[in-house]
Amino acid sequence: MSAHLLDGKKLSQSMRTTLKETFAALIAQHGVHPTLAVLQVGDDPAAAGYARAIERTCTGVGVCFSAQILSGESDQGTVNSLLDQLNGDSGVHGIMILEPLPAQIDGNLLVDQLNPAKDVDGVHPQNAGRLSAQRPPYFVPATPAGAICLLEEAGVEFKGKRAVVIGRSDIVGKPMALLLLHRHCTVTIAHSRTQDLPAVAREADILCAAVGRPEMVTGEWVKPGAIVVDFGTTYTDAGLKGDCEQESVAAVAGMMTPVPGGTGPMTNVMLMQNLLEAYRRQFGI
């Protein structure tokens, strides 16, 4: 068996084209450019690199990008004040808080302060709670939303399938589990303390790996014909690696998302999808 590889790059390019056309039409109708503000404290290279990637995506679909960068020496009050300004600015439709934050900044306080209607990253407790309860409107974190989009585009039938999500982060593992549950999968969330993790993984019709450990999941962990979603993006001396050992997993799985080119390209395009939703809500459309 050789797994069918789900092409996130191709799908994301198609979605960007549609988003660009949709944004252009809305701008012409309302005269207001959709704007995404990114709040960054300090000069962490990873945060700065992510900001540049987001800016490229914004430019590509024709929306405005606003970089709000504070010194790494800033105190909590200064950061809170800037976030208040962004929350209340009608010209800003989406806000992201980039991590990591300096040690003196409490990221949980910032997330709690974030306007849920502008939380295009889906991190505010109100959005997380509404997702859990399946009570729209809410924003879904972009990475798991992109994975679901890929699976739906591939015609995956979710109902009745057994799904295992390895990883329990608030931005990938938990929301992915909820999205699968809402589609009538029977879901297990596994993690580093799960006993006999490979055996649990082998029970899955849909196996999702979101642990950040390169090539941890091998073909021996995979049920023949399973659908495997790899969220891993770890840079190694050998290049970008996912959480799955691609060659051995592809030999067993029926479908899988490759790294690179799978869930990664979908993340920022789903962020733009959330920005579109935030913009539409502001205008009641």
CATH number for the domain harbouring residue 67 = 3.40.50.10860
Same domain, 220 and 168: yes
Same domain, 111 and 147: no
Q: What is the DSSP string of the chain?
A: --PEEP-HHHHHHHHHHHHHHHHHHHHHHH----EEEEEEES--HHHHHHHHHHHHHHHHHT-EEEEEEE-TT--HHHHHHHHHHHHH-TT--EEEE-S---TTS-HHHHHHHS-GGG-TT--SHHHHHHHHHT-SS----HHHHHHHHHHHHTT---TT-EEEEE---TTTHHHHHHHHHHTT-EEEEE-TT-TTHHHHHTT-SEEEE-S--TT-B-GGGS-TT-EEEE---EEETTEEE-SB-HHHHHTT-SEE--TTTSSHHHHHHHHHHHHHHHHHHHHT-
Same domain, 105 and 155: no
The domain in which residue 75 lies consists of 31-116
- pLDDT at res. 238: 87
The answer to whether residue 285 is domain-embedded is no
Q: Residue 7 and residue 13: Cα distance in Å, rounded?
A: 10
The answer to whether residue 17 is domain-embedded is no
Same domain, 159 and 88: no
pTM: 0.95
* Tokens describing residue 99: 């991590």
Write out residues in the chain with pLDDT < 70, as ranges.
Answer: 1
Same domain, 258 and 186: yes
- The whole-angstrom distance between residue 157's C-alpha and the CA centroid of its chain comes to 22
pLDDT in tens, 37-76: 999 999 999 999 999 999 999 999 999 999 999 999 999 9
The answer to whether residue 243 is domain-embedded is yes
Same domain, 92 and 149: no
**Peptide bond preceding 258 in cis form (omega within 30 of 0):** no
The answer to whether residue 7 is domain-embedded is no
* Tokens describing residue 98: 């980039």
Report how many domains make up the chain. 2
Domain finish residue from 116, 134, 152? 116
Same domain, 163 and 86: no
- pLDDT at res. 166: 98
pLDDT in tens, 78-87: 999 999 999 9
Q: Residue 47 and residue 100: Cα distance in Å, rounded?
A: 7
The answer to whether residue 51 is domain-embedded is yes
- pLDDT at res. 268: 94
- pLDDT at res. 285: 82
Please, are residues 30 and 284 in contact by the beta-carbon 8 Å criterion? no
Task: Tell me which amino acid residue 246 is.
Answer: Q
The answer to whether residue 126 is domain-embedded is no
Please, are residues 176 and 267 in contact by the beta-carbon 8 Å criterion? no
- pLDDT at res. 1: 59
Tell me, what CATH number does 232's domain have?
Answer: 3.40.50.720
The answer to whether residue 159 is domain-embedded is yes
- pLDDT at res. 284: 85
Same domain, 146 and 111: no
Q: Residue 38 and residue 251: Cα distance in Å, rounded?
A: 41
The answer to whether residue 109 is domain-embedded is yes
